[in-house]
C-alpha cells in the first residue's frame, strides 16, 4: 500500500531510540523527510547512523522537551531549517516506574514533566501552526498504563491518562481546521525502557525480573511482547493520508491483554 508519505516532513520526538527510532526508520522507508528530537546528542548520532544504514536520512536536534522554552525554540528551528511539519509523532520521555510505597510528590511531578509536558510543549506550537495551515496529523505514543492502573505505574499512568484526554480533546478542537490527532497505547514493548519497568515490578513482588517478564507474557493472549517496529507500523498508518478519516482515536496495542469495549 502506498501511504502517500513521500516527501512529507515528519517530526518525531524521542526519535533516538526505542519506539521513536522505529517510527523514524519506518517513515523514512515510506519516503518521508524526518526530523528527530531527543536530549542525548550521542544517542541522536547513533540513531542517524541506524537510519542511514537503512538508506534513509534524518535531521537531528537536541533539546530537553520538559522545558517549554527549549521545546518552543527547537520547534522554531526545525520549521526554519526543515520546513512545515506535516506529521508530528510524540514518543519522547517516559515516567520512571515507581512502586506505590516509594511515591513522593516529587515523583508525581517528575512523571508529568517527563511524559505529559514533554508532549504538550511540542504539540502546542505545532498544532497551532498546522491549524493555521489547514492540515496536519499528530500521533501520540502514550501507553496502556493510562487505562489500566498499575501499583508500579500510578504516576506515569496518570500522565498517560491526561495525554489521552488531551489527544481526544485536541482532535475535536482542531478537526474543523484540518488537523487529525490520534494516539496509540502500547503495552509492554521490547525496548530498553522495559528493563526499568521490570525491575520496579520485581522489587514490589520480590521476584526476579525474568520471572516478572514470563508472567507478563503469559497474561498476553498473543503470548509475547510487542516489537517496536509493530508499534511503528500503526503510527505510520495513522500519520498518513490513508487514515484521513481517523481522528480522536486511542488505539490499544497490548496484544489483547485488556479485552474491553470502548
Q: Which range of residues forms the domain containing residue 184?
A: 9-253
Domains in the chain, number: 1
Residues β-bridged to residue 54:
none
Q: Which helix (H) or strand (E) holds 237?
A: helix 228-239
Position 262 in a domain: no
Instruction: State the pTM of this model.
Output: 0.90
Q: How many helices (H) and strands (E) does the chain have?
A: 9, 7
Residues β-bridged to residue 38:
62
Position 87 in a domain: yes
| pLDDT 10s digits, 85-138 | 999 999 987 777 777 888 899 989 999 999 999 999 999 999 999 999 999 999
Position 258 in a domain: no
Dihedrals phi, psi of 174, to nearest 5 degrees: -100, 0
Pull the grid cell for residue 7.
Answer: 516527501
Position 2 in a domain: no
Position 171 in a domain: yes
| pLDDT 10s digits, 226-259 | 899 999 999 999 999 999 999 999 999 988 877 6
Position 113 in a domain: yes
- CATH code (residue 129): 3.40.50.720
| pLDDT 10s digits, 189-220 | 777 676 666 777 777 778 887 777 777 778 88
Position 4 in a domain: no
Burial (CB < 10 A; 0-12, 13-18, 19+), residue 97, is: buried
Per-residue model confidence (pLDDT) at position 101: 85
Per-residue model confidence (pLDDT) at position 93: 75
Pair type for strands 9-13 and 179-186: unpaired
Residues β-bridged to residue 59:
35
Amino acid at each position: 500500500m502506498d501511504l502517500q508519505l513521500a516527501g512529507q516532513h515528519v517530526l518525531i520526538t524521542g526519535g533516538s531510540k526505542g519506539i521513536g527510532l522505529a517510527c523514524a526508520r519506518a517513515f523514512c522507508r515510506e519516503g518521508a523527510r524526518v526530523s528527530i528530537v531527543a536530549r542525548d546528542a550521542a544517542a541522536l548520532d547513533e540513531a542517524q547512523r541506524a537510519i542511514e544504514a537503512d538508506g534513509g536520512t534524518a535531521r537531528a536536534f537536541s533539546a530537553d522537551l520538559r522545558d517549554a522554552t527549549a521545546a518552543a525554540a527547537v520547534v522554531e528551528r526545525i520549521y526554519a531549517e526543515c520546513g512545515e511539519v506535516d506529521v508530528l509523532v510524540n514518543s519522547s520521555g517516559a515516567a520512571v516506574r515507581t512502586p506505590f510505597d516509594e511515591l513522593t510528590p516529587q515523583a508525581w511531578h517528575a512523571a508529568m514533566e517527563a511524559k505529559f509536558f514533554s508532549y504538550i510543549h511540542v504539540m502546542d506550537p505545532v498544532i497551532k501552526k498546522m491549524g493555521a495551515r489547514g492540515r496536519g496529523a499528530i500521533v501520540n505514543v502514550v501507553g496502556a498504563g493510562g487505562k489500566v492502573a498499575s501499583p508500579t505505574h500510578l504516576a506515569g499512568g496518570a500522565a498517560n491518562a491526561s495525554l489521552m484526554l488531551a489527544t481526544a480533546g485536541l482532535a475535536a478542537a482542531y478537526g474543523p481546521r484540518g488537523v487529525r490527532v490520534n494516539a496509540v497505547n502500547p503495552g509492554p514493548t521490547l525496548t530498553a525502557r522495559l528493563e526499568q519497568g521490570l525491575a520496579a515490578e520485581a522489587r514490589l513482588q520480590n521476584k526476579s525480573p525474568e520471572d516478572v517478564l514470563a508472567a507478563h507474557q503469559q497474561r498476553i493472549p498473543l503470548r509475547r511482547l510487542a516489537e517496536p517496529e509493530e508499534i511503528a507500523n500503526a503510527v505510520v498508518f495513522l500519520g498518513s493520508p490513508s487514515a484521513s478519516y481517523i481522528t480522536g482515536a486511542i488505539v490499544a496495542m497490548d496484544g489483547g491483554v485488556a479485552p474491553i469495549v470502548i
